[in-house]
Amino acid sequence: MSQQKKKVIFSAMQVTGRLHLGNLEGALRNWVRLQDDYELYAGIVDLHSLTTSYEDTGEILENVRQAAVDYLAAGLDPEQTAIVVQSWVPAHCELHALLSMITPVGWLERVPTYKEKREQLHIASPSYGLLGYPVLMAADILVYRGEVVPVGRDQEPHLELTREIARRFNHLYGQTFPEPQSLLTEFAVLPGLDGRKMSKSYGNCIYLSDSPDEVREKVRTMFTDPKKIRKADPGHPDECPVYAYHVAYAPESAEETKRACEAGELGCVAHKKDLGDILTEALTPLWERREALIADPGYVDGVLQKGAQRACEKTDETMELVWRAMKLR
């Protein structure tokens, strides 16, 4: 009996700096779980970082290498999963150019993140790249003929534009692309150290490259329940970033911790010390793998070259279908 063909996934992260625990829990761990059951292409989308930071490009390549180290340290197996640097695979740009020709500007101007990024980054004169970001994202997925995309429920609407672009291409030129469906995943959502969304721009991250001492120190400074001033005060764990991390990394003891906090038996200082121990124990295997990978940069570069080769084989097949569908070849 022939082996059933695996469905294809392309999923990626943008590299604008070091990866943090939000990236680990929100994407990397899920990719590791998926790689056994899917044909997985794990992208490092360096071109996307140019949409808002195109002047200083000197750090991009090092950020790519560090992301690759983190992907591998988290457990991605390069024998199963192609780790793909976006700019190393020409078909990403080729398909982006073709899809940009058929995508109405009105579709892009309605994308909420376009307005949000302009306001957040105070961009007075946005580039075409920023406006066309969703088209490049669609090309990233469709060039692999991706059938499913792992997303959280809040991210599901973002995938609809990719489906609309795929439908428009198929309507104009014939059935070429599958319409990628959401693979809904419940991610562990970790707040930043200050309780806001974890973001490099807020400076509230725990990075995968942080040392054990740095992690403990960051945990020591974490915001806690503002209503719990003294140990004996009844706590509200569901409002506390420290407890959110406890649930993610030590769920077996979370219920008792919650009870003790609410009863005034556990103070915030002691809870932070416990969390420092929990995180250090949980992250030690990853840190050990990171250290070994950093000591062998030739291996990491080889993984990226092999990933690009596998990606090019896949995407060249897609582009042949695209050129023929458009009667350009």
The residues that are catalytic are 117, 197, 200
DSSP-assigned letter for residue 197: B
| Token pair recorded at residue 86 | 């976006």
Instruction: Identify the helix (H) or strand (E) that includes residue 315.
Output: helix 297-325
Cβ-based neighbours of 135, under 8 Å, separated by 6 or more = 96, 99, 100, 103, 108, 165
Q: Are 209 and 290 in contact (CB under 8 A)?
A: yes
- d(C-alpha 68, C-alpha 199), whole Å: 20
- d(C-alpha 27, C-alpha 261), whole Å: 30
Whose structure tokens read 């073709």? 98
Phi, psi of 182 (to 5 degrees): -75, 135
Q: Are 80 and 73 in contact (CB under 8 A)?
A: no
Cβ-based neighbours of 96, under 8 Å, separated by 6 or more = 132, 135, 136, 139
Q: Are 99 and 135 in contact (CB under 8 A)?
A: yes
CA 3 and chain centroid, separation: 30
- d(C-alpha 268, C-alpha 233), whole Å: 10
Comparing C-alpha atoms, which of 106, 210, 100, 211 is closest to residue 165? 100
Phi, psi of 198 (to 5 degrees): -70, 125
* Angle value at C-alpha 321, between 311 and 302, nearest 5 degrees: 10
